[in-house]
Amino acid sequence: MSARTGTVFLRDFDEGLVRTMGAELIEIELDGEKVQDYAIKIDGVMGPDLYGGAIPVIWQNPENTYQEGLLPHVNISRTAVVTAMQRWFPGGYEYRTPAAMAQTVTAGNGVQGPSLLEFKKWAYPYDISYDVHLRARLRAQADKMLKQIGQKFWAYGQIFLTDSEGAERGYYAFQESLDTLDEVADVADRMIGWTISLRCEAELDFNDPYIAKTSPEVVVSVESKTSVEEG
């Protein structure tokens, strides 16, 4: 291939999963500071006031330890990253194209070409598994969250993301299971919900693109060789 393509890694799939389910970045205030966080609007379900009625989307192990366990919420955990060698392309390159800073050079046979080429090796294939936990106080809330979010991740679905070149990609994602998530201590302290387990046929770019010099081959033309022999 000659067209340049972008790179993708774990964070791209994490963010793609959140955006695919319909979540958007909104501005909230935490510890007196304005920050952006992902939240999703669910028809018929009112989220925390901090999120303006939207449902917060948080990770199982968030980077910000001050995130509160507000209900209702969507909680996501990346459970496994497993190699998928059945999709592996050994050898070769994903693309080979003239580098941005390349100059035009001329070989001995008059053929012109770039002085530098940019190469990118194939991304490594992986299956990334996620658990999407939908938690609420009431069964009706949890079921409405399941109905809206579950339609995005049926047995055959896709996770859409943006690579480093700004191009949108879609990767197949399969629903592995749908499980209840109920924790009832008493009527006042209970949590009702669902867990959607997904497996995404992903790929990870461990190797950055690199640049190499071209080696134009010097060729003596037939006309030049004849002239020398006659002389």
pLDDT (tens digit per residue) in 154-165: 888 899 999 999
Alpha-carbon dihedral of residues 144, 65, 175, 73, nearest 10 degrees? Answer: 0
Catalogue the E-assigned strands of 181-220: 183-184, 190-204, 210-213
Residue 30 pLDDT level (bands cut at 50, 70, 90): confident
Residue 198 pLDDT level (bands cut at 50, 70, 90): very high
Instruction: Kindly state the tokens that stand for 83.
Output: 């190699």
Please report the pLDDT score of residue 170 as a whole number: 96
Instruction: Kindly state the tokens that stand for 80.
Output: 């496994």
Q: Which domains does the chain have, with CATH numbers?
A: 10-213 (3.30.2000)
Question: pLDDT tens digit string along 129-188?
Answer: 999 999 998 999 999 999 999 999 888 889 999 999 999 999 999 999 999 987 754 445
Nearest to 124 by CA among 69, 81, 173, 65: 81
Task: Indicate the SS3 state at residue 139.
Answer: helix
Pairing mode, if any, of strands 55-59 and 73-83?
Answer: parallel
For residues 227 and 231, give the distance between their C-alpha atoms in angstroms, rounded to a whole number: 6
Tally Cβ neighbours within 10 Å of residue 189.
9
Backbone Cα Rg of the chain: 26
- For residues 68 and 97, the model is more confident at 97
Please report the pLDDT score of residue 61 as a whole number: 63
Task: Indicate the pTM of the whole model.
Answer: 0.81
Q: Are 152 and 130 in contact (CB under 8 A)?
A: no
